[in-house]
Each structure stands twice: as C-alpha cells, then as structure tokens.
Structure 1
C-alpha cells in the first residue's frame, strides 16, 4: 500500500438529472468531514436513446456548474460523461489514477452500493486504485454477505486521517444527512407543472425553466 504526502480528493458519481440538494448536502458534508482538498461531482454517461425526458449531457454539465458555483470545494469532472459509451467504475478509476498519480483518491458510494459491491465488474481490483467512502444515514446497520464482511474486515478503518496517508486501499463509513429527494420526483413534478423550488438550488430551477429540460 503506497504512502502519500498529499491531501485526498473525492469523486461522487451520479446521473444528476437534475442535480439536487439530496446530492449536494452529503457531498459537502463528506468533503468537510474528511477534509478533502476537493470533491468532484462526476455525471454518469446516459445512452442517448434511453429516454426523451432526460436532459442532454451539456444541460447536466450546466446544471452541476450552476449548483456548485458558490462552493469552491465542490468541483465538476466530465471524466465519464463525455465518453462515447458507458464505462465500468474500474476503467474510470484507472484513468483518474493516471491523472492523479500521487494523490489519494476517495470514491464515494452509498451503503446500498456497498451491499452489492461484490457484483461490480472486477470489484477485487477497485481498492488498488482508490479508497471507498461509504455514505450512510446515522444509525443504519445493514446486513452484509460473507464477501463484503471479509472485505470490511481487511480494509475498513475508523481513522479518516489514513485516507490522506495512503493512496488507496481503505474503506471508511461516513454518516451524512440523507434528504428524501430524487431526480425522478423532480422530473415528475415538472411534468405536471408543479414547482421544484427548495428541492434544488434556485439557479438550477431557473435554468430548467429556461431550457425546458424535461418538457
């Protein structure tokens, strides 16, 4: 396990279609709690034919930029979005490691993703490229299968300082505020001409209205 003398950075993937406070609040809490030098929001690729109701890649980029414009520790990366097709997490992490060879990388996921992590493509390799930071609601104690339990036995840490001391290889649990907001709920409200105020930042609300993203 390679040591580091740099402050870790984080990456949080999602479709962000549209981005909302349910994404933004946990992202900010993780960045601050772990003292990450930056946390990058990474919109996922969506196949162009998937749905006519979804925003375009450029619109999703614009909405993320508007949402984080006043929060410099939250940044945007288009690493996955601008590829010609969907990619596996391991492929993205390999590219990020090439881009940041000496920086600890924290890949952020929800507890539901960790529960099924052993079904991910080449999941055994992922901790060679990054740490996993698992966002969860306070007090939640999920049941893990034997594969995930063994992974946690080997790699889970309780001291977040180790996320900065090593380039990769650890799993850390971080409790965050879980807001019951979903992008699909926002799209449904828009489809029925209802307000989405207070679900996503006001500049995003204005942009969606102006662009008619989900009409």
Structure 2
C-alpha cells in the first residue's frame, strides 16, 4: 500500500512552490500526498484569506490530476491545528497504512516547540524536505529523539507504519506567499508564481487585492 503523506500549511495563497515540492515528494516516495490547510496555526499569524477562500483556491490549483489531494479536516476542527491530533485521527482511519508527515528543514529544527512532538513518531514517519547544500542546526534534544530513526531506503517506509525519518532533497522554488500578497495588494499580476487555475476565477484572489 502506498504511504499517505501529509503536507500542511496555511496556503495563503497556495503557490507553485507548494505544489512543486508536494509533487516531487510524491514521486520520490511513491506516495499519495494530501495538502492540509491549517485553521489556526499555533506558530504564525492567522491567514489573510478565510478558510473557505483558501479551500476554493486549493481546489482550483489541484484540478486535472489525482496524486495530490485536499484534506480540510483541520479547518473543520475548532481551536488550534495541532499536528499530533490530526495524525492520530488519520491513523485511526487508515489502519496499517504508512503515514508520513512532510515538513521543511527549518520547521523540523523547531520541532521541540510543537505540541506533544515526541508522539509524532508513534503514529507517522517524518519526511524532512531539505534544499541541497542547506542544513539546519538541530538541538541536542531533537538529535537524541531521532537517533536511530534515519533511513535512506524509501521502501522501508512502505513496509512500516511509523517511526522513521527520511530526508528528501527537493528542488527549491523560492516563492514567497508574503510577496505574492504584496503584489496582489499593489494591483500587480503574479501570473507565473501561482497555479493557472487561480486566474480562471477573478474572485479567488479577491482577499488579497486592495
């Protein structure tokens, strides 16, 4: 059974950097990837676009393919979006299917600040999305927890449900959602930074226009 990988974020708005990384991870892992927008992210300011607006943008962006899917469960949950709660819920639904949390290298370095972070490895693997030549410094506490969990062979993830750590060197697209929001507020057109589907309906980008 193919692993199910979870790629979270605010997606405010979803852009080509998000999609290219998710797609490349799907190919490297031979996995299905679901994009999971966060409702109230504990570590950053609230999104500018509403939950419904971000879902509409994601649906438009994901048209025409089936490998990347959308999961809105965190938007339907009240309170902060804690990753451990989502993974426990998915584990109950997916049974023995391997689960994998995709996370950027910088965010992974900050994992000890996450809610019940040690429990993540009990219910899922962790895939660290790294850029070639860039290494984040990890705390001694995190180094201790991941000791013995690293694997390089993707097939290991297909035969175990959880508990491993794999580093995935992905092609970086240096696209900033903040900069996109600034461009839209200035009335400019970030045509090749966003999925083409977002331009089919002028109302999709309305939250960011002045």
Unaligned runs of 5+ in 2: none
CA contact (8 A) 1:133 1:172 kept: yes
2:28 to 12, 28, 33: 33
Equivalent residue, structure 2, for 1:97: 91
RMSD of the TM alignment (CA)? 1.6
SS of equivalent to 1:62 = helix
Equivalence for 2:54? 60
Instruction: Say if 2:194 is the partner of 1:196.
Output: no
Distance across 2 between alignment mates of 1:173 and 1:11: 15
- Count of paired positions: 205
SS of residue in 2 equivalent to 1:81:
coil
1:105-141 Cα deviation digits (max 9, x unpaired):
0100000111111221111111000000000101223
Q: Do 2:16 and 2:194's aligned partners in 1 also have CA atoms closer than 8 Å? A: yes
2:36 alignment partner in structure 1: 42
Measured in 1, the distance between the counterparts of 2:28 and 2:141 equals 28
State the partner residue of 1:12.
Answer: 7
Per-residue deviation at 1:205?
2.8
Q: How far is 1:152 from its partner?
A: 2.9
List runs of 5+ in structure 1 lacking aligned partners.
1-5
Partner of 1:3: none
**Whole-angstrom distance in 2 between the partners of 1:132 and 1:171:** 5
Aligned pair partner of 1:69 in 63, 74, 94: 63
3-state SS of 1:155 partner:
coil
- TM-score, length-scaled by structure 1: 0.90
Partner Cα distance (2:11, 2:92) in 1: 25
Per-residue deviation, 1:78: 0.5
1:180 aligns with 2:174: yes
Q: Return the offset for 1:12.
A: 0.3
Identify the residue that residue 21 of structure 1 maps to in structure 2.
16
- Contact 2:125-2:163 at 8 Å conserved across structures: yes
